[in-house]
Amino acid sequence: MKTGQCVLLAEDDPNDVLLLQFAFREAEIHSPLHTVSNGQEAIDYLSGVGSFSDRERFPIPALLLLDLKMPRKTGIDVLEWLAKDDVMRCLPTVMLSSSTHPGDIEKAYRLGVNAFVVKSPGTAQRTEFCKIIKSFWLTLNELPLVCTDGLEAARKARIADL
C-alpha cells in the first residue's frame, strides 16, 4: 500500500460509517479514513474551504467513497460538481448505495464514477470490499497528480499541458 494516502467517505448514516470503519480495520487499511456527513461537506472538503482549508489535516484523498442519497447535496450532485472541475474530475470515486435502480447506476457512470457498489448488509462482505479497496485502489491503482502532489501541482501541470 502506498503511504500518505487518505480516503474520504461521504456518508450520512452513522451506522454505515461505523461499519465501514470496522471493515477498514479488519482489512488492515492503515490509510486515514476521513468522513463527512453530506454532499455539501464533501464538496467543501474537496475544495479545501471553510473548516476544511487546512490541507495538512484534510488532504486530497486517494479515493472518494460517496453515498448516493445524502442530505443537502446528493452523491449525484457531488459527481456533477466533480465533472465540472478540470482537475478534480480525475479523483477516483466509488459510489456506494442501497439502490440498484438502473437509472441511478447509469447516471453515476455518465457523470464519471469509477465504480458503483451496492452496500452489503453483512460485515464479512464489507470487509471483503475493503480488502479490494486496499489491494486495488490503494495499492495497484496509479493516482492522478491531484491525489499525490496536491491541487496546486495538478492545476499547474494542467496549465502546462494546454
Bridging pattern class, strands 63-67 and 93-97: parallel
156 band by pLDDT with thresholds 50, 70 and 90: confident
- Residue, of 121 and 161, whose pLDDT is higher: 121
CATH number at 38 reads 3.40.50.2300
Whether 2 maps to a domain, the answer reads no
Give the residue from 38, 45, 39, 51 showing the smallest Cα distance to 7: 45
Tell me which amino acid residue 136 is. F
Whether 97 maps to a domain, the answer reads yes
Whether 131 maps to a domain, the answer reads yes
DSSP state at residue 76: H
| Domain that residue 32 falls in | 7-161
Angstrom distance (rounded) from CA 101 to CA 112: 17
Adjacent-strand bridge partners of 18? none
Whether 1 maps to a domain, the answer reads no
Structural domain count of the chain = 1
pLDDT tens-digit series, residues 89-125: 999 999 999 888 999 999 999 999 999 999 988 899 9
Angstrom distance (rounded) from CA 149 to CA 36: 22
This prediction's pTM: 0.92
- Report, in angstroms and rounded to the nearest whole number, the Rg of the chain calculated over CA atoms: 15
pLDDT tens-digit series, residues 4-56: 689 999 999 999 999 999 999 999 999 999 999 999 999 999 999 999 999 99
150 band by pLDDT with thresholds 50, 70 and 90: confident
Distance of CA 155 to the CA centre of its chain: 20
Whether 141 maps to a domain, the answer reads yes
What is the model's pLDDT at position 148? 81
